[in-house]
Amino acid sequence: MQQYLQNKKGLVQNVFNQVYDRYDLMNDFMSLGIHRLWKKSLLNMMNPSSNQNLIDVACGTGDIAKLFVKHVNKLSHVTCVDPNKGMISKGKEKLSNFKNINWIISPAEKIPLSDNLFDFYTISFGLRNTAKIDKALSEAYRVLKPGGRFLCLEFSKIQNTNLETLYKNYSKLIPSVGKFVVGEKQPYEYLVKSIENFLNQEELIDAMVKNNFKKCTYRNLSGGIVSIHSGWKF
């Protein structure tokens, strides 16, 4: 596993090449469907209006885009960005009825779009997978309009000792569950390791401030299993 962590970019691409076709199934299975509630909490925190647009980075198969478009009654535009071609293809297939979603294959660290374009930038369970977190954050800042808002939904550090113990024990089972459900164990070994190694809540706030975001805050969900970080471009 250490060898893989040293080559994070290649590892992440390999991980999602293996699981994209069963990505939604595994998310539901591993979280008992709770990831959908977390994503709805993200949308509620965003509370977009019909004249606003969104870029969703590390979009996966488009869960956030679907929630956003439904919330604004299909009147706004969403740009979905993901580095994995298979994930983008799956998202296009899943959301083929939504004509106001644009799909781009690109890493978070180098988005091929102009400055100052979007009212909202979201990244859900993807920031920890970027090769360079600071570069991803600076790109987020660049593509947001002045007055735009950055929102990151990500695994975080649990605040309750008993819950932390329970979660760690559950995490040990995740690779075996992955093997059973999607036929692959290694991607989920990476998943567990990436969560363990990711920034805590305050460290992510510091990284956001370093990259010029203002009014940076976070909200813990499910006792800190995940958190939503928010920052503004002024």
Is residue 42, in this structure, part of any structural domain at all?
Answer: yes
CA distance 116 to 194: 31
Q: What is the pLDDT of residue 145?
A: 98
CA–centroid distance for 130 within its chain: 10
Is residue 88, in this structure, part of any structural domain at all?
Answer: no
The beta strands (E) that lie in 36-179 are given as: 54-57, 78-82, 101-105, 118-124, 144-155
Q: What is the pLDDT of residue 190?
A: 82
Q: What is the pLDDT of residue 20?
A: 67
Quickly tell me which residue has 């059973």 as its tokens. 180
Q: What is this structure's pTM?
A: 0.91
Is residue 68, in this structure, part of any structural domain at all?
Answer: yes
Q: What is the dihedral of CA 64, 158, 183, 83, to 10 degrees?
A: 40
Residues 217 and 186 in one domain: no
Residues 6 and 21 in one domain: yes
* Sequence-ordered alpha helix ranges (H) in 72-200: 85-94, 133-143, 161-171, 174-182, 186-197
Is residue 220, in this structure, part of any structural domain at all?
Answer: yes
Residues 163 and 228 in one domain: no
Is residue 137, in this structure, part of any structural domain at all?
Answer: no
Residues 165 and 228 in one domain: no
Residues 162 and 220 in one domain: no
Nearest one of 89, 96, 93 to 69, comparing CA atoms? 96
Residue 68: count other Cβ atoms within 10 Å of its Cβ. 26
Q: Give the phi and the psi of residue 109 in degrees, each rounded to 5.
A: -80, -10
Q: What is the pLDDT of residue 7?
A: 57
Is residue 85, in this structure, part of any structural domain at all?
Answer: no
CA distance 12 to 99: 29
Residues 204 and 163 in one domain: no
Q: What is the pLDDT of residue 11?
A: 60
Q: What is the pLDDT along the chain (234 residues), one digit of tens a residue?
A: 444 444 565 666 666 766 666 777 777 777 878 999 999 999 999 999 988 999 999 999 999 999 999 999 767 899 999 999 999 999 999 999 998 999 999 999 999 999 999 999 999 999 999 989 999 999 999 999 999 999 999 999 998 999 999 998 988 888 887 787 767 787 778 888 889 999 999 999 999 999 999 999 999 999 999 999 999 999
Residues 186 and 230 in one domain: no
Are the C-beta atoms of residues 74 and 49 closer than 8 Å to each other?
Answer: no
- For the chain, how far is it from start to end, CA to CA, in angstroms? 41
Residues 162 and 230 in one domain: no
Q: What is the pLDDT of residue 17?
A: 65
Helices 8-19 and 23-31: crossing angle in degrees, nearest 10, is: 90
Is residue 133, in this structure, part of any structural domain at all?
Answer: no
Residues 20 and 71 in one domain: yes
Residues 2 and 74 in one domain: yes
Q: What is the pLDDT of residue 48?
A: 95
* CATH code assigned at 165: 3.40.50.150
Is residue 90, in this structure, part of any structural domain at all?
Answer: no
What domain range is 27 assigned to? 1-54+63-79+158-198
**Domain count across the chain:** 2
Residues 15 and 68 in one domain: yes
Residues 205 and 183 in one domain: no
CA distance 131 to 8: 6
